[in-house]
Amino acid sequence: MRTTQQWFEEYAISHQNPTNKRIHYICVPVIFFSIIGLIMSIPTTFLNDLTGLNNSLYINWAVVLLLPILLFYLRLSKKIFLQMLLFSCICIIGNYYISQKIPLFTFSIIVFILAWIGQFYGHHLEGKKPSFLKDLQFLLIGPAWVFKKIFL
């Protein structure tokens, strides 16, 4: 497995343009947030039946799917893991409250599409393809890279 520094250096190659960077600082966390919302939109009846849990404990597919993702971040570093754990919790709580007001799936799909339009516009300005086209793991590196840049 590559080191954290190797991941970030390779990711940074296609993120040099200042406008593309600013777009990424906004769109990457928004995409992560919207994906959590999309996953939370999956009915949890089976999950609750499987675990024997009732509605008194809030469990959803996003929590289940975040576990291996957070393990990936833990393998990179404890600091990245803690940042992404905190952000993941914010995403779950935020999406939960959004779901109480409006249809979460519809909201999440619109936000997801708009954020990706921003991402591709940024890469158009950059003149380079998104990193994830080379390696899908860069979809997980992107949020860690953004938080590293924001919270130096």
Amino acid 78 reads: K
Inside any domain, residue 97? yes
Report which DSSP code applies to 134: T
Inside any domain, residue 10? no
CA 123 – CA 14 distance, rounded (Å): 8
List, for residues 60-72, the tens digit of each pLDDT value.
889 889 999 999 9
> Nearest-CA neighbor of 35 among 129, 148, 142?
142
Inside any domain, residue 23? yes
Inside any domain, residue 11? no
Inside any domain, residue 12? no
Inside any domain, residue 89? yes
Q: Give pLDDT, residue 135.
A: 73
- Model pTM score: 0.87
Q: Give pLDDT, residue 130.
A: 82
Range of the domain at 120: 17-150
Structural domains counted in the chain: 1
Q: What token pair was written down for 117?
A: 């339009």
HEC string for 58-71: CCCHHHHHHHHHHH
Inside any domain, residue 85? yes
Spell out a b/e string for 87-109, using b for 16 or more CB atoms within 10 Å of the CB, else e.
bbeebbeebbebbeeeebeebbe
pLDDT band at 56 (very low <50, low <70, confident <90, very high): very low
> Nearest-CA neighbor of 72 among 148, 17, 2?
2
Inside any domain, residue 140? yes
What number is the average pLDDT over the span 49-76?
Answer: 78
- Tell me what percent of the residues of the chain surpass a pLDDT of 70: 89
CA 32 – CA 70 distance, rounded (Å): 13
